[in-house]
Amino acid sequence: MIDQSIKPVNEQIIELVKLLNDYSYAYHIKDSPIVPDAEYDRCYKALQELETKHPELIQKSSPTQRVGEKPSYGFVTVPHTLPMLSLDNAFNDASLIDFNERVSKLLSTSHIDYCCEPKLDGLAISLRYEFGRLVRGLTRGDGLSGEDITSNIKTLKSIPLTLRTDTPPEVMEVRGEIYMPTEGFERLNATAIEKGDKVFVNPRNAAAGSLRQLDPKVTATRPLVLCAYSIGYIEGGEELDSHFDSLAILNNWGFRINPLMEKVQGIEGCIEYYAKLEAIRNELSYDIDGIVYKVDSIESQKRLGFVARAPRWAIARKFPAQEEMTQIEEIDFQVGRTGAITPVARLKPVFVGGVTVSNATLHNKDEITRLGVKVKDFVIIRRAGDVIPQIVQVVEDRRPEDGYSVIFPEQCPVCSSDTEQVSGEATIRCTGGLACSAQRKEALKHFVSRKALDIDGLGDKLIEQLVEMELVSSPADIFLLKDKKLDLLKLERMGKKSIDNLLNSIEAAKNTQFNRFIYSLGIREVGEATARTLASYFKTLAELMSANEEVLVSVEDVGPIVARHIRVFFQQESNRETINLLLNAGLVWEEKPESDESLDLPLTGKIYVVTGSLSQMNRDEVKNRLIQLGAKVSGSVSSKTSCLIAGEKAGSKLTKAQSLNLPIMDETELMAFLSDFEAY
Residue number with CB closer to ligand I6G (200 or 229): 229
**DSSP one-letter code for 282:** G
How far apart are alpha carbons 234 and 255 in whole angstroms? 16
Give the shortest CB-102-to-ligand I6G separation in angstroms. 16
| Residue 85 makes contact with ligand I6G by CB under 6 A | yes
DSSP state of 36: -
Q: Which helix (H) or strand (E) holds 527?
A: none
Indicate which single residue of 117, 148, 287, 556 sits in contact with ligand I6G (rule: CB under 6 A).
117
Tell which positions 204-243 bind ligand I6G, by CB under 6 A: 229-230
Which of 311/432 has CB closer to ligand I6G?
311
Q: How many residues bind ligand I6G (CB under 6 A)?
A: 12
CB of 291 to ligand I6G, least distance (A): 9
Instruction: Give the footprint of ligand I6G on residues 138-177 (CB under 6 A).
Output: 177
Burial of 674 per CB tally in 10 Å (0-12, 13-18, 19+): middle
Chosen residue from 169, 184, 216, 311 binding ligand I6G by CB under 6 A: 311
Q: Which residue's C-beta sits nearest to ligand I6G?
A: 229
Q: Which helix (H) or strand (E) holds 674?
A: helix 667-675
Which stretch of DSSP H or E encloses residue 420? strand 419-421
Smallest separation (angstroms) from ligand I6G to the CB of 227: 8
Q: At closest approach, how far in Å is the CB of 310 from ligand I6G?
A: 7
Residue closer to ligand I6G, measured from CB, 115 or 436: 115
Smallest gap from Cβ 234 to ligand I6G, in A, equals 14
Q: Which H or E element spans position 469?
A: none
Strands 113-120 and 288-295: antiparallel
Select from 57-65, 85-93, 444-452, 491-499 the region that touches ligand I6G (CB under 6 A).
85-93
- 85 vs 406, beta carbon nearer ligand I6G: 85
Q: What is the footprint of ligand I6G within residues 87-116 (CB under 6 A)?
A: 87
CB nearer ligand I6G, residue 177 or residue 556: 177
Cβ distance to ligand I6G smaller for residue 316 or 352: 316
**Residue 458: how many CB atoms within 10 A of its CB?**
23
Residue with smaller CB distance to ligand I6G, 246 or 390: 246
Q: Which of 80/653 has CB closer to ligand I6G?
A: 80
488: phi then psi, degrees, rounded to nearest 5: -65, -35
Considering only residues 348 to 407 of the shown chain, the ones binding ligand I6G according to CB under 6 A are none
Min dist. Cβ of residue 141 to ligand I6G (A): 13
Q: What's the distance, Cα to Cα, between the start and end of the chain in Å?
A: 39
Residue 374 is among the residues annotated as catalytic for this protein? no
Site string for ligand I6G, 32-71 (x = CB under 6 A): ----------------------------------------
**Helix (H) or strand (E) segment spanning residue 394:** strand 390-394
Beta bridge partners of 421: 428
Residue type, position 16, single letter? L
* Cβ 100 to ligand I6G shortest distance, Å: 17
CA–CA separation, 55 and 59 (whole Å): 9
SS3 state at 568: helix
- Choose between 306 and 680: whose C-beta lies nearer to ligand I6G: 306
**What is the rounded distance in angstroms from the CA atom of residue 622 to the CA atom of residue 628?**
10
HEC letters along 47-95: HHHHHHHCHHHCCCCCHHHCCCCCCCCCCCEEECCCCCCCCCEECCHHH
Under the binding rule (CB under 6 A), the answer on residue 127 touching ligand I6G is no
Report 601-630 residues binding ligand I6G (CB under 6 A). none
Spatial CB neighbours of 1, under 8 Å, sequence gap ≥ 6: 39, 42, 43, 46
Least Cβ distance, residue 465 to ligand I6G (angstroms):
54
Residue 295 Cβ, how far from ligand I6G at the closest point, in Å? 11
Buried b (16+ CB within 10 A) or exposed e, 304-342: beeeeeebbbbbbbbbbebbbebbbeebebebbbbbbbb
**Helix ranges restricted to H, 514-590:** 514-520, 528-537, 541-546, 549-553, 560-571, 573-584
Q: Considering only 117-125, 157-165, 417-425, 520-528, which stretch makes contact with ligand I6G by CB under 6 A? A: 117-125
**Which amino acid, residue 147?**
E
User: Of 86 and 421, which has the nearer Cβ to ligand I6G?
Assistant: 86
* CB distance 253 to 103 below 8 Å: no
Cα-based distances in Å from 185 to 224, 285, 324, 364, 380: 9, 11, 20, 22, 18
Residue 265 near residue 303 (C-beta atoms within 8 A): no
Residue 228: strand, helix, or coil = strand
Q: Could you tell me which residues come within 8 angstroms of residue 607 by beta carbon, excluding any fewer than 6 positions away?
A: 554, 631, 632, 633, 634, 640, 641, 642
Question: 41: which DSSP letter?
Answer: H
- Rg (the chain; Cα; Å): 31
Q: What is the 3-state secondary structure (H, E, C) of 287-313?
A: CEEEEEEEECEHHHHHHHCEECCEECC
From 81-89, 242-250, 405-413, 440-448, span contacting ligand I6G (CB under 6 A):
81-89
Which stretch in 80-88, 395-403, 449-457, 504-512 sits in contact with ligand I6G by CB under 6 A? 80-88
Cβ-based nearer residue to ligand I6G, 291 or 375: 291
Minimum CB separation of residue 232 from ligand I6G in Å reads 8
In the set 18, 45, 119, 263, the catalytic residue is 119
Which residues, including other chains, have CB under 8 Å from residue 676's CB and lie 6 or more apart? Answer: none
Which of the ranges 83-91, 353-361, 461-469, 668-676 carries the binding residues for ligand I6G, by CB under 6 A? 83-91
Is residue 292 part of the contact set for ligand I6G (CB under 6 A)? yes
Residue in 124, 231, 352, 502 binding ligand I6G, rule: CB under 6 A: 124
Q: Say if residue 666 is exposed, middle or buried (CB neighbours under 10 Å; 0-12, 13-18, 19+).
A: middle
Q: How far is the CB of 117 from ligand I6G (least distance, A)?
A: 5
Which residues ranging from 442 to 501 are in contact with ligand I6G (CB under 6 A)? Answer: none
Tell me which stretch binds ligand I6G (CB under 6 A): 79-87, 571-579, 588-596, 607-615: 79-87
- Which of 28, 66, 119, 243 is close enough to bind ligand I6G by CB under 6 A? 119
Provide the minimum distance between the beta carbon of 173 and ligand I6G in the complex, in angstroms, as a whole number: 12
Q: Give me the residues paired with residue 123 across strands.
A: 178
Q: Map residues 318-337 to x or -, x wherever contact with ligand I6G holds by CB under 6 A.
A: --------------------
Of 40 and 313, the one with the shorter C-beta distance to ligand I6G is 313
Catalytic residues: 119
Would you tell me which residues interact with ligand I6G (CB under 6 A)?
A: 85-87, 117, 119, 124, 177, 229-230, 292, 311, 314
